[in-house]
Structure 1
Amino acid sequence: MLDLKFVRENQEAVAQAMKNRHASWDASRFSELDEARRAAITEEEALQAERNATSKSIGQMMAAGEKDKAEAAKERVREINDQLAAVSAKREAADSELHDILLRTPNMPADTTPVGDDENDNPEVRRWGTPRDFEAEGIQMKPHWDLGADLHMLEPERAVKLAASRFVLLRGQAARLERAIINFMADTHTSRGYTEWWCPAMANANTLTGTGQLPKFEDDLFKTREGLYLIPTAEVQLTNIHSGEVLEASDLPLHYCAFTPCFREEAGSAGRDTRGLIRVHQFDKVEMVKYAKPEESYDELESMVNDAENILQLLGLPYRVISLCTGDIGFSAAKTYDLEVWLPSYGAYKEISSCSNCVDFQARRANIKYRDPENFKGSRYVHTLNGSGLAVGRTMAAIMENYQQADGTIKVPEVLVPYMGGVEVIGDQA
């Protein structure tokens, strides 16, 4: 959430940032409401001062025997109270609308976020690994959904029977591979200094408002009759663990991670994305979240990207890193790097991780501050960061496709063999 004073003092910059983001921004309405709010505050203060002075004079009038003047003063106090109620109602209405506008306004992009219209304007930062040339190897490459069917790993028809389309049912070694990937990712992140959490798969409205999913993106969420929502990512829970708290500077940065199931509507998806494991309503993910001092948060972002890259490198999966432009960056983010893994079935790189610095945007919504008495008085908002470490289903799809062999089996990446109970090849025993 943007700071009201910042928006007031930087309206041209805010308007340009929202234009770069292709976000709606009504500058005239904001100014109108802000002016009305400030005028109401000024009037409230004047009326309160008059009421206090008038109330104080009543006792003096009574002591002096000026009963008629005292009664007139009492009547004026009653009038002031009525006026105050009306003015306060105007201020509260302006406050409420301003708050709603700011809740629905995205974050300001960082100065280093490239300006662009959409994903086609995202510059590539670097690549790692070389995609296999299946044709040169004499292998007829199969997409993971066909491999999954051939090896009895994926059961899409039964998933539809049990739930609906765009859900996944994994069988045998596929189920074990899912579990292996999760455990490998969690173990790797905790070995690099992340504290692991086990979180609820549901969140309340306040929690989702804190990270920015509500109120703007309610239609993308699954809601229960009890008013809870299925979480779209563990970022929601990990970021809100310290909502309403004041942290100590000496404890920062905090590095958290968690595995959770994730639930998203994924409306409007079509084509290959609706087949297999790429874009589904329910998927598993290991998430990373950091709380950092403002002056350290961009270094922490680079470190987080390295942590996500480390997973892909250990798995031996080719990938590239891109920097998202203003037209493609997420609602709460100031700067984002996407990691895209090579998927042979697409002949292209597909997103598998998104690492973002949200600066104080989420902390302001969730009221997360820190104190540093040696450097400043009071408290200030922390910076929050989040990143996929990684999306498990997409990782499985990438492993299946990149590690497929000429005989139709799938080689298990070396780092996952211990997690697979020593299984090195997934074949027709799946």
Structure 2
Amino acid sequence: MLDPLLLRKDLDRVVAGLQARKNPQPFLDVTAFQSLEAERKTLQTRTEELQSQRNKASKQVGIAMGQAARLRATEDHDNAESLIEHAKSEVTKINLELDVSEKRLSALQAEMNDMLLSVPNLPHASVPLGADESANQEVRRWAPHGLAPRSFDFPIKDHVALGEPLGLDFETGAKLAGSRFTFMRGPIARLHRALAQFMLDLQTQQHGYTECYTPYIVNADTLKGTGQLPKFAADLFAAKKGGQEGEGEALYLIPTSEVTLTSVVAGEIVPEADLPIKMTAHTPCFRSEAGSAGRDTRGMIRQHQFDKVEMVQIAHPDHSYDALEAMVGHAEAVLQALELPYRVVLLCTGDMGFGATKTYDLEVWVPAQDTYREISSVSNCEAFQARRMQARFKNAAGKNELVHTLNGSGLAVGRALVAVLENHQNADGSINVPAALRPYLGGVDVLRA
């Protein structure tokens, strides 16, 4: 969530940042916000005035009681009680107005917060301007033997044709759950598992992440904290609504373990010495892919259920952009070890995700499509998620300050499987196993049907 103080002090800057994402910006109803803010400001001033008046009136009660004691000594009881009642009635009158004012102020602040829950983060100054992916900037390319992907001297097969003899089964997946679900058995299932294990080992043993096991189902508050709700409710799978426990509570399958890993620090004050906190997890991810009908309907590129090894860092604000660059390198290390050609792309303002201030995509080469496809997205969210979650640390001055949160794929396992099959295929349909994966496959160097 954006800082409400920034909107109050520099609304023009906020609107300009939102327009960089999409123009005209559809995210913030500026007129409604200004109306709420004007009322809030008036009420805030009046509330502070009433609190001051109440303090003064409370003191007058004490003075009146002292005067009353002296009057009683002269047996002037009526005047004594009158002084006390008058002073108390003033306090009661102020309290009544103050109660109404404070309740309305609280309601206004809640209404403004609800409005801001659907407003995306502002782009960092270094992010290129652009309306869509055509304005993204390529940063670098890598391939095992130079900058160009491998050339094939035989007809290229796609991962579906290569994977089916190895146990990749879309028909059984569709029978069990519907379209965009996959069933794997035998060699392909083992390769899929090997990829996830390799990625976890690399991130934990070489890059200092702590391996975590997280819930696959979370409550709505957890999804609000990381920005999936309320904006992207249509993309989520609801697992439960109502029931004997927690009547009326909605639970959701996680779209990524970014949600669970980042939320570990929700409501916490982290010691500054503990930063950065680096976590990784291998989980399934569940996405309804709302609005993506007709895209990548063949194969594993776009599934309702897929596996991912996620990287999350909880960082000091002074070091979060260094952490972003490091995390990109951590994702690149996986692709290089798997000997997969890829490129790093800096996303423009119009193509970034909801919570990000700056994002790099890693795109792996998919030979059958003759193009690069996203396999990792690494983002700095600065304090956007932390503000929603109230995730803080105690700084050197002893004050509580919001942490910065970063997340990235390290990597999407299904898409890595696609890339390994297609980039390492042989003319007979067998697959050369990258050296980094062979220990996880019992030393096998070629996969055959």
Shift of 1:45: 1.9
Q: Deviations over 1:336-388 (max 9, x none)?
A: 00000001121110000000011111111111112233xx2312111111110
1:303 paired to 2:321:
no
SS in structure 1 opposite 2:365? strand
Provide the residue aligned with 2:9 in structure 1.
9
Which residue of 203, 213, 218 corresponds with 1:203?
A: 218
Provide the residue aligned with 2:416 in structure 1.
395
Is the contact between residue 320 and residue 382 of structure 2 (CA under 8 Å) also seen in structure 1? yes
Larger deviation, residues 1-10 vs 80-89: 80-89
Distance 2:273 2:88 in 1: 55
Give the aligned residue type for 2:426.
Answer: Q
Is the contact between residue 28 and residue 116 of structure 2 (CA under 8 Å) also seen in structure 1? no
Distance 2:233 2:18 in 1: 21
Which residue of 52, 61, 65 corresponds with 2:64?
A: 61
| 1:176-255 equivalence runs, <5 A | 176-192=190-206, 193-226=208-241, 227-255=250-278
1:356 paired to 2:379:
yes
Larger deviation, residues 417-426 vs 120-129: 417-426
Distance 2:11 2:47 in 1: 26
> Quick one: structure 1 residues 170 and 18, their matched pair in 2 at CA, closer, same or farther if it must change by over 3 Å?
same
Give the aligned residue type for 2:20.
Answer: N
Q: Following TM superposition, where does structure 1 have runs of at least 4 consecutive aligned residues deviating by more than 4 angstroms?
A: none
Which residue of 101, 112, 134 corresponds with 1:87?
A: 101
SS in structure 2 opposite 1:261? strand
Q: Deviations over 1:287-326 (max 9, x none)?
A: 0011111111111111100010010001010000000111
| 1:136-151 equivalence runs, <5 A | 137=153, 139-149=154-164, 151=165
Is the contact between residue 121 and residue 355 of structure 2 (CA under 8 Å) also seen in structure 1? yes
Is the contact between residue 355 and residue 386 of structure 1 (CA under 8 Å) also seen in structure 2? yes
SS in structure 2 opposite 1:394? helix
Distance 1:399 1:412 in 2: 8
| 1:27-426 equivalence runs, <5 A | 27-62=30-65, 63=68, 64=71, 65-129=79-143, 130-134=148-152, 137=153, 139-149=154-164, 151-192=165-206, 193-226=208-241, 227-271=250-294, 273-373=296-396, 376-426=397-447
Larger deviation, residues 240-249 vs 77-86: 77-86
Unaligned runs of 5+ residues in structure 1 are none
Shift of 1:69: 4.4
Give the aligned residue type for 1:302.
Answer: E
Shift of 1:277: 0.8
Shift of 1:66: 4.0
Larger deviation, residues 269-278 vs 60-69: 60-69
The share of aligned pairs that are identical, in percent, is 51
Distance 1:54 1:237 in 2: 50
Distance 1:294 1:204 in 2: 28
Is the contact between residue 344 and residue 362 of structure 2 (CA under 8 Å) also seen in structure 1? yes
Distance 2:90 2:395 in 1: 48
Q: Deviations over 1:110-142 (max 9, x none)?
A: 0001110011110110111122222xx1x1111
SS in structure 2 opposite 1:274? coil
SS in structure 1 opposite 2:195? helix
Distance 1:270 1:422 in 2: 40
Distance 2:182 2:254 in 1: 18
Distance 1:311 1:55 in 2: 68
SS in structure 2 opposite 1:267? coil
> Quick one: structure 1 residues 422 and 272, their matched pair in 2 at CA, closer, same or farther if it must change by over 3 Å?
farther
Is the contact between residue 305 and residue 337 of structure 1 (CA under 8 Å) also seen in structure 2? yes
Is the contact between residue 217 and residue 239 of structure 2 (CA under 8 Å) also seen in structure 1? no
Distance 1:198 1:47 in 2: 52
Provide the residue aligned with 1:21 in structure 2.
21
Distance 2:414 2:157 in 1: 17
The Cα RMSD (Å) is 1.5
SS in structure 1 opposite 2:296? helix
Task: Provide TM-score, normalisation by structure 2.
Answer: 0.91
Distance 1:269 1:2 in 2: 28
Is the contact between residue 61 and residue 67 of structure 1 (CA under 8 Å) also seen in structure 2? no
Is the contact between residue 284 and residue 307 of structure 2 (CA under 8 Å) also seen in structure 1? yes
Distance 1:187 1:42 in 2: 57
Shift of 1:153: 2.0
Unaligned runs of 5+ residues in structure 2 are 72-78, 242-249
Distance 1:392 1:357 in 2: 22
Bigger CA radius of gyration: 2
Provide the residue aligned with 2:76 in structure 1.
none
> Quick one: structure 1 residues 272 and 96, their matched pair in 2 at CA, closer, same or farther if it must change by over 3 Å?
closer
